[in-house]
Amino acid sequence: MTGLWVLVAVLVAGTAAGLLLRARNGRVREARDTVRELPRPVADALDPASAVTLVQISTTFCAPCRHAKAVLAPLAERTEGLHHVELDVTNQPEVAQSLSVLRTPTTIALAPDGRELLRVSGVPKGADLLEALRPHLTLRTS
């Protein structure tokens, strides 16, 4: 009988963890007030002509990373002042570590001066991301 209770507890815990991860996937979070020096590949990827650069942190064998790129690239193409770049950190994990990235894909929205505006863990929802970026895009372009 004990084994049955253990099985039920593991199933309940696993279901709760899965629901929590699903709820957090793609959620836009405002940037923390921490100022940090950007790693060289990220600093080089910034587009000074754009109000916002979306830096997508990916890895080689990450299937959701391809979905994130399919959302972000067209969004950047059709939005003035928005630039998208994908960085594969498979062979440079120190880049992800210095940015406090714990999973891929993670998308970080950066201002031209390197200041973090917001970040999204998982595959972003295009409409939600664009809505969160709108104040940063209009400030630069107007």
pLDDT in tens, 86-142: 999 999 999 999 999 989 999 999 999 999 999 999 999 989 999 999 998 865 444
β-pairing, 52-58 with 116-121?
unpaired
Answer yes or no: is pLDDT of 47 > 60: yes
Angle between helices 126-141 and 63-77 (to 10 degrees): 40
Handedness of CA 84, 73, 105, 135 (dihedral sign): positive
Task: Count helices and strands (H / E) in the chain.
Answer: 5, 5
Alpha-carbon gap, residue 54 to 118, rounded angstroms: 10
* C-alpha pair distances (Å), 27 with each of 22, 107, 126: 10, 11, 11
Q: pTM value?
A: 0.80
